[in-house]
Each structure stands twice: as structure tokens, then as C-alpha cells.
Amino acid sequence: MLEDGELLTLSLDKLSGSGIESKKEFLFGKIHMQIKLVPGNSAGTVATYYLSSEGEQHDEIDLEFLGNSSGNPYTLHTNVYSQGKGDREQQFFLWFDPTQDFHTYSILWNPKCIVFYVDNVPIRVFKNTEKLGVPFPKDQPMRIYSSLWNADDWATQGGRVKTNWTLGPFTASYRNFSVDGCIWSYRTRSSSCNSTDFSTNPMLKMELDRRSRERMKRVRREHMIYDYCKDQWRFPRGPGPECRVNN
Ligand SMILES: *[C@@H]1O[C@H](CO)[C@@H](O)[C@H](O)[C@H]1NC(C)=O
């Protein structure tokens, strides 16, 4: 931690990666973090930023930044797990170099939807489609995590490009973390948000309006590089029912 606790860096060398986790657990919230990723040749490194509950049937909302060799673009990898089931990957190229400056990456999680944002532009929504039989993360409190680790067996260009350890230690920087969320208390087994909050707090009620949906569509058209909803090879019997409403 540097600058009076305003700046955090995570580093990775051949011996170890590093990570942080929130002390508090949340059941719904909107979180923001500004991140500047490992510059130069970051092949094989993965910076994560995610929410996760514990246990086998866990829920998880994932953002992962897959490094690349110099001059090649980072991949932003997203996924949503509900009750232990993931396999809902969508990947993007960013429209800027994420190693030059800090950019804001946000996750909105409320009972209606999960939305991923880059610099306040929505890039992905995962709606609550319990009505269609798809479990939605809404019963298990989650912690917020971030880490920098090595995954050169798969991360960069399918594992073909390995980490060049002579360039280490690799460093990613974090600042301006903020969370507007419902804090979970294990002692009372209850959330700091009550039923009034659920009908008045915009964070808990929010869904994408028309304008944001249009914006998201455009970003996805231009920058999405992988969508599990369109992967017939992995899902020959068709994608999950949530795909019908999330695109
Ligand atoms: C790295 O760059 C190559 C070439 O542009 C691209 O195909 C790949 O998706 C990029 N990202 C990763 C994580 O390999």
C-alpha cells in the first residue's frame, strides 16, 4: 500500500503471486475499482477482480484480465457462477490500452441483474432468469477479491505464450475502490438493507434503461471476441435459456 493507503499494488514473481480480499461480505452492491494493468510483456499473467461466496454451490461474478505479449491486446474475461455452475464466459478486447492509465471497472449486483461496466459503459448483463429455471446469485453473501497470478498454461494465446520471468516482478495497480452495498452480518444472519431499501435505493432496483442497452449492444458488437451463448461446439444442444434475454 502506497500514498497513505490510496494506492495498492499487487505483484507477481516466479515464487508467488498476491491478492486482497474484503473483510466484509455483501449481499448485493455496486463496486468500483480503478485498475492499471501489468505493462509491456504480460504474457501468462492474470489479474482478477471478482465477487465470490464460499462452498461447493458457490456464486461468483468474475472479471479477469488475461495478459499478452508486448503489443498484443489484453483479453477481458467475464463469467457468472450460480450455485456452483459457471460455463458462462464472455470475452472482450478493450478499446484502450489498459496498461497506460487507470480505468474504472464496476460490477452492479442486485436481485434483478448483474451488470459489468468498463469506464461506466455496460459491457455485459446477466439478468435474473429464475423464471426460466436458471439459478440467480441472490442468497449467498460474497466477498470482493483481487489477485495477480500466473496462468501461463492457458491464459495467453491458449497457453502457447509463456511468462518471461526475467521481466518480473510484474505489477498491477489499484486505486479508488468503492462499494455501495448491503453488508451481511453472520451474527444476526441478516443484511444491512431492509425492505424499504429494496424499494428505494437505486442500486438495488436498477436495470439497464434503453439508452444503456443500446450503448452496450454497440460495445458488444465492436469488442466482444467470445460469447458462450454462440458456442455451438461447446453447447451442441443450445445455450442456456438465459441467453435468450441477455443479448
Ligand atoms: C493476445 O493477442 C493475440 C494476437 O492479437 C490474440 O489472438 C489473443 O486473443 C490475445 N489475448 C490473449 C489472452 O491471448
Return the DSSP state at 157. G
C-alpha cell at 43: 504474457
Q: Report pLDDT digits (tens) over 111-145.
A: 999 999 999 999 999 999 999 999 999 999 999 99
- Minimum-distance ligand 1 atom for the alpha carbon of 68: 1
Q: Dump pLDDT digits (tens) for 179-201.
A: 999 999 999 999 999 999 999 99
Ligand 1 pocket check for 57: Cβ under 6 Å: no
Residue 157 CB burial class (10 angstroms; 0-12, 13-18, ≥19): middle
Where are the domains positioned within the chain?
7-244
Contact 64, 77 (CB under 8 A): yes
Q: Could you tell me if the CB of 91 is within 6 A of ligand 1?
A: no
Residue 16 confidence (pLDDT): 96
- List, by residue number, the catalytic residues: 60, 64
- Please tell me the residue having the least CA distance from ligand 1 atom 4: 72
Residue pair 86/60 in contact by the 8 Å Cβ criterion = yes
- Residue 128 beta carbon below 6 angstroms from any ligand 1 atom: no
Which residues lie closer than 8 Å to 21 by C-beta, 6 or more apart?
A: 143, 144, 145, 146
3-state helix, strand, coil in the chain (%, to 5): 15, 40, 40
d(C-alpha 247, C-alpha 233), whole Å: 19
For ligand 1, say whether the CB of 68 is within 6 Å of any of its atoms. yes
Residue nearest to atom 13 of ligand 1 (CA): 156
Q: Compute, in angstroms, the gap from residue 70 CA to the centroid of ligand 1.
A: 10
The rounded percent of the chain whose pLDDT value lies above 90 is 98
pTM of the model: 0.96
Class of domain 7-244: mainly beta
Burial letters 46-65, b for 16+ CB under 10 A, else e: bbbbbbbbeeeebbbbbbbb
Query: Rounded to 5 degrees, what angle do the CA atoms 82, 86, 91 make?
Result: 120
CA of 161, closest atom in ligand 1: 14
Beta strands in the chain (DSSP E): 7-12, 18-21, 26-36, 45-52, 60-66, 75-81, 90-92, 103-109, 113-118, 121-127, 143-150, 170-185, 190-191, 224-227
The pLDDT score that the predictor gives to residue 158 is 94
